[in-house]
Amino acid sequence: MAKGDDAAKAFTEKQFDYLVIGGGTAGLVVAARLSERQDLNVGVLEAGHAIPDDTPAVSVPGRWGEGIGTGYDWQFETTSQKQLGGRKLAWPRGKALGGSAALNFMIWNRPSRDDLDAWERLGCKGWGWNDMLHYYKKSEMFVEPNDKAKLEHTIHYDREAHGTSGPVTVSFNKEHSVPHQYWHKTLENLGVATNKMHMSGSNTGAWTSMVAVNPQTATREYSATSYYKPVRDRKNLTVLTGAIVRDVVLEKSEGEWIAQGVRFEHDGSEYIAHASKEVVLSAGSIKSPQILELSGIGNPAILEKAGAQTKVVNKNVGENLQDHLMTATIYDIDPSVPTLDDLRVDPKLAAAADEEYKTRLTGPRTLLSCSMAYIPLSTLVPEAGISTLTSHLSTPTDLLSKAIASRLEPSANGGHVEYIFDVGNWNPFTPVQPGKKYATLLQILQYPFSRGSIHINPAAPHEAPIIDPRYYEDEGQIDREVQLHAAEFGQKILEAEPLKSFVKERVWPPKGVNNREWNEWIVGNTTTDWHPVATCAMGGKEGKEGGGGGVVDERLRVYGVKGLRVVDASIMPLQISAHLQATVYAIGEKGADVILEDAGA
């Protein structure tokens, strides 16, 4: 990684074959894989900086969330959301080498087979489950638990579905909080079976989740530690941090726009770096569409307001935004049960936990929430209720709208809502009482009908873009109604044994609220689960050079520009039922392969 006052100048003087914009989750995968070829010179521009290895807020699993709101976070926020009572929501995104995987809660899971096969049905050839499983496995090094842990923590997995030689070490937690022992039996008593093959193409049911944690060191695994750190001394790989990308340099030749390089700012000065083969945009679902628009690729009406020249017309840039929506119900529990909240209010307990972690790699600082269940819509909503939901749909006219609408069909069996249960108060709106202890049931809607946009701010194009998820608007009212049904099922979970014996009563929302009050509570408590996708989506069969749908083709090439690709979560055309981390690594792996294949390597 280049350092010093002359770092930017030295970077621009290098002869790069490929320039990668963004040293985040996908960007470092691409850079590491391309630079395996010694004859290729690869440069990476990252706006943030490297995180020191001894940064507990990032490296220590049980301190999840502490990196949010720091200098390693872009600290974005949405516009006022009309259907959320005018609230603006914080949208944390990683601004550091390693990206958002340095800030997330380390959950490592995969979507269902049908989630990815739906991409292929849209015309995105090569993106179905059978093709993508190879890349999921290629990214991971799975460390198997011992037999005692399997039995004690109800751990199941399909050994054949996992990679054993990839860069990212993944594992099952060695310790779990108190209620995990009740999770599987409780769900079984509600007719929800434990899924013993949850990483093999079917993600419905309950399971103990895997995490991106190295069990030998009990530290977070993310792309900076797994993909970049082991290869950072390669002579053909150069990373420049603190580099704010302004735009992609496009030049026209024989009527065709060609990506020639990247304009960026470093320490207050502006520079241009050149790429002889391709520019790869891996800045994520928020920054990637912004950079395309700053480069003159997008909707002319939006670009003109920002004073940007339109070079390539594509009204899909920044559109089709899909996000997971989350609420958190809170329950009163026995005050003797240890929770993470204890460490936040008691310095002595925190110091003891830190010492145990330092000396034995055990205890509260190793704990993550791994009690999970993904429930299909047919379990949550009665048949008559599904008919009511479908009445809110307009007639789907394109493949994407039809694919989204199909998620309301009675035969749909994907995990429509995710539940996670753990001790501690996860809802900042909860009216807490001194001396009380709490547990949280998260319910996270996976297949949103709310669709929003991310665009440059006409008043300040190079500052934070305008993020408008349009939660619960238009067809998004389906999401709000599903959340109501999901809350009812969530209450059933906490009223079933053995969890019923662990919790006392629901305290937020208060016990006894009626349907109208539940609705108001959902409006006032819905937040993001930090999983935005699709703002530079693959166009599939209806791509037509960006006119009929999408921003990139199935080879991730930006429509209308030669030598420019997007490789990150923004290319996903449809939201998936899973946390995004493992899928973004797989996208990075496949993207690197596609680039090398198209180069004839």
Specify the pLDDT at position 548: 84
Half-sphere exposure of 277 (CA within 13 A, CB side): 19
Three-state DSSP state, 456 = coil
Q: How far apart are CA 337 and CA 181, in angstroms?
A: 14
Specify the pLDDT at position 2: 44
- Number of domains making up the chain: 1
Which residue among 153, 324, 485, 579 is the active-site one?
579
Which residue among 184, 324, 485, 531 is the active-site one?
531
Answer yes or no: is 494 within a domain: yes
Answer yes or no: is 167 within a domain: yes
Specify the pLDDT at position 5: 67
In percent, the amount of the chain with pLDDT more than 70 equals 99
Q: Could you tell me where the beta strands, DSSP code E, fall in 424-460?
A: 437-445, 453-455
Q: Alpha carbon of 201 to those of 4, 168, 261, 573: distances in Å?
A: 48, 20, 39, 19
Q: How far apart are CA 213 and CA 221, in angstroms?
A: 5
> Binding site annotation covers 426?
no
Specify the pLDDT at position 546: 85
Beta carbons of 98 and 222 less than 8 angstroms apart: yes
In percent, the amount of the chain with pLDDT more than 90 equals 93
pLDDT digits (tens, 9 = 90+) for 435-453: 899 999 999 999 999 999 9
Q: Determine which helix (DSSP H) or strand (DSSP E) holds 265, and give its type and residue range.
A: strand 256-266
Q: Taking 60 as the threshold, does the pLDDT of residue 304 lie above it?
A: yes
> Binding site annotation covers 183?
no
579 among known catalytic residues: yes
Specify the pLDDT at position 384: 86
Write the burial class of residue 199 (CB in 10 Å: 0-12 exposed, 13-18 middle, 19+ buried): buried
CA proximity to 67, closest of 203, 282, 220: 220
Answer yes or no: is 117 within a domain: no
Specify the pLDDT at position 601: 62
Domain extent, residue 159, equals: 83-88+145-215+330-528
Beta carbons of 338 and 183 less than 8 angstroms apart: no
Q: Taking 70 as the threshold, does the pLDDT of residue 3 lie above it?
A: no
> Binding site annotation covers 530?
yes
Rg (CA), the chain: 23
Beta carbons of 302 and 293 less than 8 angstroms apart: yes
CA proximity to 214, closest of 253, 268, 170: 170
Pair type for strands 243-253 and 76-77: unpaired
pLDDT digits (tens, 9 = 90+) for 113-127: 999 999 999 999 999
Q: How far apart are CA 274 and CA 572, in angstroms?
A: 28
Q: Tokens 């109800």 sit at which residue?
A: 154
Answer yes or no: is 599 within a domain: no
Answer yes or no: is 45 within a domain: no
pLDDT (average), residues 135-142: 98
Answer yes or no: is 264 within a domain: no
Residues in contact with 3: Cβ distance below 8 Å, sequence separation at least 6, in sequence order: none
DSSP structure string for 328-385: EEEEEE-TTS--HHHHHH-HHHHHHHHHHHHHHS-SGGG----EEEEE-HHHHS-HHH
User: Please, what is the average pLDDT of the chain?
Assistant: 96
Answer yes or no: is 20 within a domain: no
pLDDT digits (tens, 9 = 90+) for 234-276: 999 999 999 999 999 999 999 899 999 999 999 999 999 999 9
Q: Tokens 């307009």 sit at which residue?
A: 394
Answer yes or no: is 209 within a domain: yes
Specify the pLDDT at position 4: 45
CATH number reported for the structural domain that contains residue 475 in this entry: 3.30.560.10
pLDDT digits (tens, 9 = 90+) for 323-357: 999 999 999 999 999 998 999 899 999 999 999 99
pLDDT digits (tens, 9 = 90+) for 25-68: 999 999 999 999 999 999 999 999 999 998 999 999 999 999 99
Q: Taking 70 as the threshold, does the pLDDT of residue 148 lie above it?
A: yes
pTM of the model: 0.97
